[in-house]
A and B are shown apart, each in its own frame.
Chain A
Amino acid sequence: MKTRNILIIMLSLVFVLSMAALSGCEEPEEVVEEPEEEPEEEVEVEEPEDPEYEIDLIVGFAAGGSNDLTARYLARYMAEEHEITINVVNMPGGMSTEAAYHVSQEVDPEDNILFWGHSGPLLFEPAQDYRGYTIEDFEPVATFCAPTFVLGARPGAPWEDDFEAMVQYIEDNPGEIVFGGQGEGNVRHYAVEQILPPDELDYEFVGLEGGADVAMNLTGEHVDAGHLSLAAASPLVADGELWAVANTNPLVERTPLMEDVPNVEEFGIPEGQEPHPIGMWALPGTDPDLVSALESAMEDLSGHPELLEEFDEMGVVVHFLDSEETWDFFMNVNDTVVPDYIDWLEEKGYN
């Protein structure tokens, strides 16, 4: 019995010490003595203190993916640089429609619960079928970033490491190429068919489960080419296990992680860009001061060098659009891409 008591005390000590370590774990900063600046004015001017805000940011995917990580990085810098506390809450399900539904229909604007979403749950999903909400139920705070997707090929594929050679090969060798994409009948598949129209090029499209699955199938030579996230592709490209031949980002022409990889727009295929920007969305009626504070903080952070570097490493391009620009961008996608996408779904029999 005594031994057990001792062990329990030890465990308590472990807990307390660990908590202490958590609070004091950062490396000591170097102390640099700076010359004291003389105050320009003797009169003390009281600067108005920024109010401290706290929000819950609902992410529609499980912890660990690029959607989640972008929110977490943003939360970190918001707290450090702008004293805005963002609690990231994961609510996965239904390709993020569960989370969008929750925010739009089940919370009060005064609760300061916002949605971290992209065009999938906000435009393409509600356009396909009734999801219980539409984009009109939200108002944009700002767009912050966009995951990049690339067209890749397995090394040793029977064409040169460039996009036009790949297209030429498919044209010259009908029925030979197997192309792997991230799912079937979704907006990514639609983008691939805009780039490689199946009525002109004879190849087999296989819907795989995600970027990692496409990468694995390319590495194992089960597919010859594929469309996958830059995050999944970049380590393989760096190791020479994958050729990246074009990117499909609609916000920037070249991605900083792969400057030499051209955008599909450069080949005259702007419709092959996948409109996937991620932004923060609030409910109408949310405190305008909070929305404004978040918007300006996001604009400021979109130029933060360390944040940019970290997003680059994830294969996510930071590109700020303010509230108005975000709405215009999404409405443009809604008016141009979405109707064609719905037609395509019906034509292919997916809807």
Chain B
Amino acid sequence: MFEMDAMREAFYMVFALDTVLFIMLGVLIGISVGAIPGLAHSLPIALVLPFSFVLPLHQTMGLLIGTYKGGTFGGSITAISFGTPGTSGAAATVKDGHALTQLGKGKKALQMGLYSSITGDVISDIVLIFLVVPIGAVAPRFGPAELTALYFVALSLVVVFTAQNPGKGIISAGIGFFLAIIGRDILTGGIRFTFGLRQLEAGIELVPLLVGFFALPNIIKEIHGVITKPTKPEVSGEDPKELMKKKEEGLTFKEFISSWRGLGLGTITGTLLGALPGPGATLCSYTAYSVVSQISKDENYGKGALEGVATAETANNATCGATFIPMLTFGIPGSSIAALLMAALIMEGIPLGPRTVVDHTEAVYTLFLLLILANPFNLILGKLLIPVYSKLTRIPASVLWPVIALVIVIGMYALNHRPFDIVICLAAGVIGYFFKWFKLPDGPLVLAFLVTPLFEANFRQAITMARGDITFFFGSPISQTLWIVAIIAIVFFVTRRRKSGQQ
């Protein structure tokens, strides 16, 4: 039930100069850190966490929400400019975003990344505000049987990526499956495939894997270019200073709106999957990206299409508001960043659970308003920083790429203070380099790596609950619907593959 007094109090708190300053500071930190490869935006959020002890709720959460939103967008900046995802959630943006930069359309891609991020963010916030209670009530209905079906749908998307070359796709997915099961058994804690390496017992972290996989091949290629063709800039006849001043064309409204499929599906996927504990921004953006690849009319999708950037960025930012749904309704964090935000709220004296909306209405309204208010600041600061980042791409390669390599190494260590994460990043880079060399698709690897642990855990839990009764997997209307979706998706993808093969 809407409470006017609580909303009024929240409004006065949020629309005050101090709160606005904290949101702006948060967005600035988020974009800046998110745009540094390897420095996931969970890092500044963790660093800011102790301020919860000294700052009031509206200031702390303004800072944290600003950082979260800014960081989620910021990850796309380096993904587009340098082919190096700033955060794991921006990995799906690399393919089209970086291809556009190489085609001289980096500014358009960055603007598309910004506008689609804001679109996903705003819609997800609105959904959170108006549908927190009904969506929150549905979320617990997703038990192991339903989640098995859901992740089967996600796994079926591997078929999409393998459609062009099934052999290469299966190799790629196989590597993803294997990397995902290294370390501890998710349920029993038993050790698997560590080859006697103690450090592998913790498994392979997503961020070092993705950053290494996408960034290092680019760095090797560019540095190799610098060594073999050191006079390249002079050959082009362009003065580096003039190059820095050169203006690029920006994104037009027509171009933005023509990506409506990506914007729409990205928002829906990010919001719905983001409301469930587990999937996270990376899986949401990859899922949306692969679905849109099947319905996009743009022939360049996957090779430098604005719609590809729009899909991935809308989806990962649409998780920002949605991630609050399980938190505010059941006190359940949907992702690692949600756990940090939840910790901040607990430290502010707001216990989270089914009674939060009733007992702490003012705090909940404050969160809603902060989420909404962070969007315009993300837009303004993003617009302001895009020209800066698009110019960075014109820094001489001999300076730029070694600096990026150094920043990645620092970022990898800062993530968990584990030197072994740097080793994982380097090994992932070697795998990435071979993928480029043999032209293996990267999508199956990433999807398989993300979905395997989720699918495995839920499947095994459901099998135990079922006691051998296979009908358990089809018992509820939710799981029945999801299995039907999975079958339709596979039939649709295979039919399209056959048709395109015949053509």
Residues of A within 8 A of B (CB): 4, 7, 11, 14-15, 17-18, 21-22, 25-26, 62-65, 68-69, 72-73, 75-76, 88-95, 97-98, 101-102, 129, 131-132, 175, 178, 183-186, 204-209, 212-213, 215-217, 219-220, 222-223, 232, 234-236, 238-239, 241, 313-314, 350
Contacts and interface: CB of A to CB of B under 8 A. Distances in A.
Given A185-B188, A220-B140, 14 more contacts: A11-B384, A14-B25, A14-B28, A15-B25, A25-B55, A63-B339, A76-B53, A93-B416, A204-B465, A207-B188, A209-B187, A212-B277, A220-B142, A239-B354
Interface stretch (B107-115, B152-160, B329-337, B436-444): B329-337
B485 interface: no
B182 interface: no
B133 interface: no
Contacts of B21: 14, 17-18, 21
Nearest to A128: B189
A314 B346 contact: yes
A131 B188 contact: no
B184 A94 contact: yes
B16 to A, nearest CB: 11
Given A14-B28, A91-B418, A206-B461, A183 B187 contact: yes
Contacts of A17: 21
Given A18-B25, A64-B340, A183-B189, A98 B418 contact: yes
A154 to B, nearest CB: 10
Contacts of B177: none
A68 B342 CA distance: 13
Given A186-B189, A212-B277, A14 B24 contact: yes
A232 B353 CA distance: 9
B477 interface: no
Given A222-B465, A239-B354, A129 B191 contact: yes
A219 B140 contact: yes
A65 B461 contact: no
A129 B189 CA distance: 12
A118 B56 CA distance: 32
B202 A98 contact: yes
A185 B189 contact: yes
Contact of B187 (A22, A64, A68, A184): A184
B230 to A, nearest CB: 33
B41 to A, nearest CB: 13
Interface stretch (B44-52, B167-175, B300-308): B44-52
Given A64-B339, A235-B351, A184 B188 contact: yes
29 contacts: A11-B384, A14-B28, A18-B25, A21-B22, A25-B56, A26-B54, A65-B343, A69-B343, A69-B347, A72-B347, A91-B417, A91-B418, A93-B418, A94-B201, A94-B202, A101-B198, A183-B188, A184-B189, A185-B188, A204-B465, A209-B186, A213-B332, A215-B331, A216-B140, A222-B143, A235-B355, A236-B354, A238-B353, A241-B354
Interface in B475-489: none
Nearest to A92: B416
A217 B188 contact: no
Chain B binding surface, main DSSP class:
helix
Nearest to A187: B189
A330 to B, nearest CB: 21
Contacts of B53: 72, 76
A273 B284 CA distance: 40
A326 to B, nearest CB: 25
Contacts of A216: 139-140, 277, 326, 330, 332
Contacts of A64: 46, 49, 333, 336, 339-340, 342-343
A89 B417 contact: yes
Contacts of A314: 346
B241 to A, nearest CB: 15
Specify which of B18, B25, B186, B331 lies most central, judged by the most chain A CB atoms within 10 Å of its CB.
B331
B8 interface: no
Given A90-B416, A236-B353, A350 B188 contact: yes
B141 interface: yes
Specify which of B51, B203, B277 lies most central, judged by the most chain A CB atoms within 10 Å of its CB.
B277
B426 interface: no
A94 B198 CA distance: 9
Interface string B19-39: 001101100100000000000
B59 A220 contact: no
Contacts of A213: 277, 332
A63 B331 CA distance: 16
Given A63-B46, A207-B187, A68 B343 contact: yes
A215 B25 contact: no
Given A18-B21, A69-B346, A236 B417 contact: no
Contacts of B467: 175, 204
Nearest to B17: A17
Contact of B198 (A25, A68, A131, A222): A131
A313 B351 contact: yes
Contact of B143 (A215, A217, A234): A217
Contacts of A95: 184, 189
A212 B332 contact: yes
B353 A235 contact: yes
Contact of B346 (A22, A26, A313): A313
Contacts of A183: 187-189
A22 B392 CA distance: 32
B190 interface: yes
Contact of B202 (A11, A93, A238): A93
Interface string B446-481: 000000000001000100110100000000000000
Contact of A62 (B50, B186, B189, B339): B339
Contact of A235 (B49, B145, B191, B352): B352
A242 to B, nearest CB: 10
Contacts of A239: 353-355
B429 interface: no
Nearest to A186: B189
B144 interface: yes
A89 B40 CA distance: 16
Nearest to B384: A7
